[in-house]
Structure 1
Amino acid sequence: MEKYHHVVIGAGINGSCTAFQLAKRGTKVLLLEKFLLPHSRGSSHGQSRGIRKAYPDPFFTALMEEAYKEWEDIEKKTGVKLIKKTGLLCFAENKNIKFINDTIDSFKKVPGAQNTVYNSKQLREKFPCVRLGKSALGCYDPSGGVIFADKALKCIQDLCKEYGVVIKDGEDVEDIKHNSNSVHISTTSGSRFTAQSCVICPGPWGGPLLAKLGYQVPLKPVKIPVYY
């Protein structure tokens, strides 16, 4: 039985980042992935994802302040450009729409988070391609842009290896046993691992895996089409 400080289940962007952060702290980490890497079954695959600080919840705006610093550090460590800042304009045709006002308020509550607010006249002058009414309101996030998803995931996993993370793919977790001191994990391939803790980041496969621990969480995977 292989022994680690931490086992992370799921090598998508959440699991890989978790393993990286744990390894940076000098611990022995195992990252388990159900499918053979790389694969396109999770939510981390593909060329790009949007990235921004413009959220209607100040918690996420503040969190993204920290996230951007982490991504900049990863770019420096790997020498790979991962973010293209294009700017992001959020707007509503009615200035009383809750989403746009909450987004503007979130920027106000986070020190140093830059943004520009436009009334309807300013929107028409600055963005003539967007035709909005006289009651429109906009919020421009200069940090918004695109993060290169596949590249970002690979960079994180490469850094994991540099920091000593053991990555095992094709390892489908069959059972998890735990007590107050340790966690014991077995996979369908017959492998067995023990650790002081286990972090579960399986994405759409969270329901069946959590059920092994006695947690009946009503998770329902949903496919979301995104158009640009």
Structure 2
Amino acid sequence: MSERFDVAVAGLGALGSATARELARRGLRVVGLERFALGHDRGASHDTSRILRHSYHTPAYVRLTQQAYDDWARLERDTGEQLVTVVGGVDLFPPDPAIPPADYVDSLREVGIEHELLDVEETRARWPRLHLPDGTLVLFQADAAIVPAGRGTRVMQDDARAHGADLREHSPVTGVRDLGSGGVVVTTPQGEVHAGALVVCADAWANDVLGHLGLNVPLETTLEQVTYFRPERPDELAPGRLPLWIWMDDPSYYGFPCYGEDTVKAAQDCGGPVVDPEARTHEPDAAMEERLAAHLRRMLPAAGEPVRSLRCQYTLTPDRDFVLAPVPDHPTVVAGLGAAHGFKFAPTFGRLLADLATEGTTGTDVAAFRFDRPALTDPDYAAHWLV
């Protein structure tokens, strides 16, 4: 015998947890199926912090960030949890950068997002701990913020359960049968679940689920690393005295002011090797740590020396755009992939995926995130991840 629910959600990281929460709040019977333990460190929703910002390379993404800010605020109101910490943020474009600043500046201007363009001297006057090469262009947004990763995901899970969602650990999806208008049957080691719709937010394991429907998305999983540095004077690198920062070149780096503890967190974006998520290591990589530390010695020497490094993983589409769409030929199955920059949009993903699963459409234009775009259908598409 199979259990019956309105919607099943496969994967309970940030995106899946947000979706389960949104569906449960709408009064639907929801089951969430997590391959590992809730809050595990094998994916991309653990650790302390993520960046929330408006700065993006297209107007469409900038408009979506406006929804993200609204949805994080709604999550705070609904749960009574303070989750967004505004610290300001700078995108740092050195001379002749690999990432063109015009895409970001023009996108912000088109959408009407307030920002400032600063030179090196103006930047040094505001944040004297930042050491930048002459000719660096600095794009500042006052409302850039930090959102908590592990804690934010847990808040969404707790709220989903409070509204009746059944969230199950150690329940990998081992089979999917599309019954058409009769819904979907999802098989797990504990038995079958019969649901009216299925939402797949399984990230690096998305193809393990979608493969049961004959779909294989061209994804690469890379093993990344974040490092925490111990400054001698953490008060000088606290929120308000140091902004979020992103080094917009190749390699690209990003970092935070002190947040939650007297350390500075930083990492390289897309700097790690391609791995099998089932066979990856959790051991820190000394060469990656030293490459990052060398950059901070030049740009933010007050950060001090590394004290610990943690591994995480990116699951990347070839164009690094999201997937947010029904599965072709299976309209009762919807997929969400964050392409290693989706956490800032997690509550928004939840709302949009809930719309697609229940109504088949949403008021937000998500056409760019369909399965039938060239990056996902053209085998000769040249992958590019630096945005």
TM-score by length of 1: 0.90
Superposition deviation, residue 78 in structure 1: 2.1
Q: Residue 39 in 1 paired to residue 36 in 2?
A: no
In the aligned structure 2, how far is the partner of 1:146 from the partner of 1:27? 31
Inter-CA distance 175–157: structure 2 relative to 1 (3 Å threshold): same
Give the aligned residue type for 1:177.
Answer: R
Match for residue 60 of structure 1? 61
In the aligned structure 1, how far is the partner of 2:149 from the partner of 2:102? 30
In the aligned structure 2, how far is the partner of 1:65 from the partner of 1:217? 28
After TM superposition, the structure 1 stretch with the greater mean CA deviation from structure 2, 143-152 or 19-28, is 19-28
Counting matched residue pairs gives 225
Superposition deviation, residue 85 in structure 1: 1.4
Inter-CA distance 33–98: structure 2 relative to 1 (3 Å threshold): closer
Match for residue 209 of structure 1? 209
After TM superposition, the structure 1 stretch with the greater mean CA deviation from structure 2, 118-127 or 29-38, is 118-127
In the aligned structure 2, how far is the partner of 1:38 from the partner of 1:56? 31
The gaps in structure 2 that reach 5 residues or longer are 228-265, 267-387
Instruction: Answer 1 or 2: higher relative contact order, Cα 8 Å, separation at least 6.
Output: 1
Structure 1 SS opposite 2:31: strand
Superposition deviation, residue 70 in structure 1: 1.2
Inter-CA distance 101–126: structure 2 relative to 1 (3 Å threshold): farther
Match for residue 225 of structure 2? 225
Matches for 1:191-202 after TM superposition, within 5 Å: 191-202=191-202
Identical residues among aligned pairs (%): 27
Match for residue 185 of structure 2? 184
Structure 1 SS opposite 2:174: strand
Inter-CA distance 225–57: structure 2 relative to 1 (3 Å threshold): farther
Superposition deviation, residue 156 in structure 1: 0.4
In the aligned structure 1, how far is the partner of 2:120 from the partner of 2:132? 10
After TM superposition, the structure 1 stretch with the greater mean CA deviation from structure 2, 80-89 or 90-99, is 90-99
Give the aligned residue type for 1:71.
Answer: W
Superposition deviation, residue 196 in structure 1: 1.3
Q: What CA deviation, in whole Å up to 9, does each residue of 1:13-53 have, x standing for no partner?
A: 01111112222333221111111223111200111122211
Match for residue 79 of structure 1? 80
Structure 2 SS opposite 1:184: strand
In the aligned structure 1, how far is the partner of 2:157 from the partner of 2:40? 13
Structure 2 SS opposite 1:3: strand
Q: Is the 8 A contact 1:7 1:195 kept in 2?
A: yes
Give the aligned residue type for 2:193.
Answer: F
Superposition deviation, residue 142 in structure 1: 1.3
Match for residue 115 of structure 1? 115
In the aligned structure 1, how far is the partner of 2:153 from the partner of 2:104? 28
Q: What CA deviation, in whole Å up to 9, does each residue of 1:53-76 have, x standing for no partner?
A: 111122222111111111112122
Q: What CA deviation, in whole Å up to 9, does each residue of 1:190-214 have, x standing for no partner?
A: x211111101111111122221211
Matches for 1:125-164 after TM superposition, within 5 Å: 125-128=125-128, 129-133=130-134, 135-164=135-164
Match for residue 288 of structure 2? none
| C-alpha RMSD of matched pairs (Å) | 2.0
TM-score by length of 2: 0.55
Inter-CA distance 138–4: structure 2 relative to 1 (3 Å threshold): same
